[in-house]
Structure 1
Amino acid sequence: MAASVKDVAAHAGVSVGTVSNVLNRPTKVNAETAQKVLAAIDELGFVRNDAARQLRAGRSRSIGLVVLDVANPFFTDLARGAEARASEHNLSVLLGNTDENAQREAEYLDLFEEQRVHGLLISPLGEVGPELERLRQRGTPVVLVDRSGVDRGYSSVAMDDVAGGTLAVTHLMSLGRRKIAYVGGPASIRQVADRLEGARLAVETAPGTSLEVFEAESLSVLEGRAIGELLRARPVGERPDAIFAANDLLALGVLQALVMMGEVRIPQDIALIGYDDIAFAESAVVPLSSIRQPSELIGLTAVDLLMREAADGEQAHEHIVFQPELVIRESTAG
């Protein structure tokens, strides 16, 4: 049976209150007594019941972070930034991966509500639903990550994905490319839709330029390869001369499919650009041009917003939007 606070107190010859002070308010206990209690904790293998402490405090020392796909290095870097900033506030980060699945998203929201997290950071799959509003009504601050919340009354930190889409396609058109394909999906993901909107805005400025849309089932390398195979199977005259992928994983999959048989040259036959500028983009067989997002900075900033909301729930919501940066490599510059 696990040792209790009472067991520690009896073993150290002190009161339960003294043990509690050592654990929670050590400055109130003299050094000799504290050492006796710590020795008893070590000898008995005592582990504090943090859940009970959270119930008494009304809120835990953890932040919930819900992301679309933890396999995507963009979200891994974002989580790293959030964790770094949270540790400065003596908070930990609990990571939930929805894998672009609405049911899993709802389950994580329920779990984090039960855990009474200090706050919630979330990159929602679709529209912001009543679950988030319920969390907020119960006193849990919520910040949207990689997603604008201006129209929903939530603080948010994101990148201007419409501008990013426009920047990517404008770059492709500057190379003289006029048959452009957009690879992205599912369309229910706001970031995907915004990047497509930006691509369409760019095409509208250039008469004679076309935009063909390929909707992927997920933002993965395998989906990119599947669409790349479809494009490679087309007659040469029916292929696009440029591709904008909604993220780098899709772009890397497309790249693999196109160059695998040596039939398509990147960028001579087809120029290719991705989005996010993950570490793998630079080390691809043809280094990948991309639209850079400051992923770690987004995570850091999201925690900053969350802490301000937790400190003053009545403050006006903040919306921080980073601007995209074009990174040109061989996949468009060869």
Structure 2
Amino acid sequence: MSSVSVRDVAALAGVSVGTVSNVLNRPDKVSEQALARVHDAIDRLGFVRNDAARQLRAGRSLNFGLIVLDAGNPFFSDLARGAEDRAADDGLSVLLGNSGGDRTRESGYLDLFEKQRVSGVLLSPLGDSVARLRQLRERGIPSVLVDRAAPGSPFSSVSVDDVSGGRIAAGHLLDTGRRRLAFVGGPHSIRQVSDRLSGAREAVAAAGATLEVIPTAALTVLEGRAVGEALAGRPEASRPDAVFCANDLVAVGMLQGLGILQGVRVPADIAIIGYDDIAFAQSTVVPLSSVRQPARLIGRTGLEILLAESSVEAPLEPRHVVYQPELVVRASTVPA
């Protein structure tokens, strides 16, 4: 069935196309009789206005784009919720893209948002995206980096100090008496992972302890479970006595691989701390200690900056907002 047009509505209502346009956009300029006839025609024909075309003609969209590294990670779900809540305050919408850690997919979403002429893009980038974001800005689409510190960058950013977060996590494990630590997570090409590892190394070096680095292919529960099973299979003397996982999903998998599947006691044998403090971290079999990030605040702040940048012609001076992480202690790291 072909789509119903404004001309079809005008013909059925017995009015001009201009009158239908006024009903849709400036109803105060139309008589009550004409309003009733046009609305009756709209209902009978099932007409749906083409907002996309209207926005293109106006040169401005009611939508913003958001590209995250992993839409299945509750941290990014919370970040998206914060951005959506702020957009909704102004009657706007956020279109979500999931790069899944794939540069090609990230690039594809940037191309799609450019074609849709969104009012701006929030991006949790895989790598250096400055050149591509410059192209978008030249075409009137500003960008803000989220969950990624970018000091000195020409683009605004909202992030958490992940180096500090890594120090906090490793420092907490050291404070409980652990001295043989492991860092589990990857790939290390993800800036957040490498920053958390860097902070952990600083804390461990200052304490004269040891740190084993165990990379993973992804930041998922399954990857954490596989590492947990592998650690449980080692002789007890060669295991770490504490593990800092790069995010909570890896830590949840680690809990499964060590305790549920292999019988290693957490935290008596191995203490575990995660990162992000996602909603179900406190609901695991052994409640999980974590380093909390203000995910919703990151998303809301990013959208707030993007609204300001999309409302002016010339680029604003970039803002770089960095929040501090917070230690949340639960049963998975009680002192040995």
TM-score range, shorter chain: over 0.9
Identify the residue that residue 97 of structure 1 maps to in structure 2. Answer: 98
1:135 aligns with 2:120: no
Q: Secondary structure at the match of 2:274?
A: strand
CA distance in 2, matches of 1:188, 1:263: 33
1:134-179 Cα deviation digits (max 9, x unpaired): 1111110101011112232111111111111110011000001111
Quick one: which amino acid aligns to residue 73 of structure 2? N
The offset of 1:49, in angstroms, is 2.0
1:244-275 Cα deviation digits (max 9, x unpaired): 00100000001100002453111111110000
CA gap of 1:38–1:179, structure 2 versus 1, over 3 A, is same
TM-score, scaled relative to structure 2:
0.96
Matching of residues 22-41 of structure 1 within 5 Å: 22-41=23-42
CA distance in 1, matches of 2:49, 2:261: 59
Matching of residues 266-277 of structure 1 within 5 Å: 266-277=266-277
CA gap of 1:147–1:44, structure 2 versus 1, over 3 A, is same
Identify the residue that residue 251 of structure 2 maps to in structure 1. Answer: 251
Identify the residue that residue 62 of structure 1 maps to in structure 2. Answer: 63
CA gap of 1:30–1:292, structure 2 versus 1, over 3 A, is farther
Identify the residue that residue 190 of structure 2 maps to in structure 1. Answer: 189
CA gap of 1:234–1:262, structure 2 versus 1, over 3 A, is closer
CA distance in 2, matches of 1:25, 1:13: 18
CA distance in 1, matches of 2:173, 2:264: 17
Quick one: which amino acid aligns to residue 151 of structure 2? V
- Structure 2: state its 5+ residue gaps: none
The offset of 1:84, in angstroms, is 1.1
The offset of 1:31, in angstroms, is 4.2
Quick one: which amino acid aligns to residue 277 of structure 1? D
- Structure 1: state its 5+ residue gaps: none
Q: Secondary structure at the match of 1:205?
A: helix
Quick one: which amino acid aligns to residue 68 of structure 1? L
CA distance in 1, matches of 2:84, 2:214: 35
The offset of 1:32, in angstroms, is 4.2
Quick one: which amino acid aligns to residue 233 of structure 1? G
1:59-84 Cα deviation digits (max 9, x unpaired): 32111110000100011111111111
The offset of 1:127, in angstroms, is 2.0
Identify the residue that residue 263 of structure 2 maps to in structure 1. Answer: 263
TM-score, scaled relative to structure 1:
0.96
Q: Secondary structure at the match of 1:79?
A: helix
Matching of residues 207-222 of structure 1 within 5 Å: 207=208, 209-222=209-222
Quick one: which amino acid aligns to residue 274 of structure 2? G
Identify the residue that residue 5 of structure 1 maps to in structure 2. Answer: 6
1:311 aligns with 2:307: no
Matching of residues 233-252 of structure 1 within 5 Å: 233-252=233-252
CA distance in 2, matches of 1:315, 1:28: 38
CA distance in 2, matches of 1:27, 1:295: 43
Identify the residue that residue 172 of structure 1 maps to in structure 2. Answer: 173
CA RMSD of aligned residues (A): 1.4
Matching of residues 102-181 of structure 1 within 5 Å: 102-181=103-182
Quick one: which amino acid aligns to residue 141 of structure 1? P
Identify the residue that residue 327 of structure 1 maps to in structure 2. Answer: 328
Quick one: which amino acid aligns to residue 105 of structure 1? E
Contact 2:124 2:145 in 1 (8 A): yes
The offset of 1:203, in angstroms, is 1.2
**Runs (4+) of structure 1 moved beyond 4 Å?**
none
The offset of 1:130, in angstroms, is 2.1
The offset of 1:128, in angstroms, is 2.1
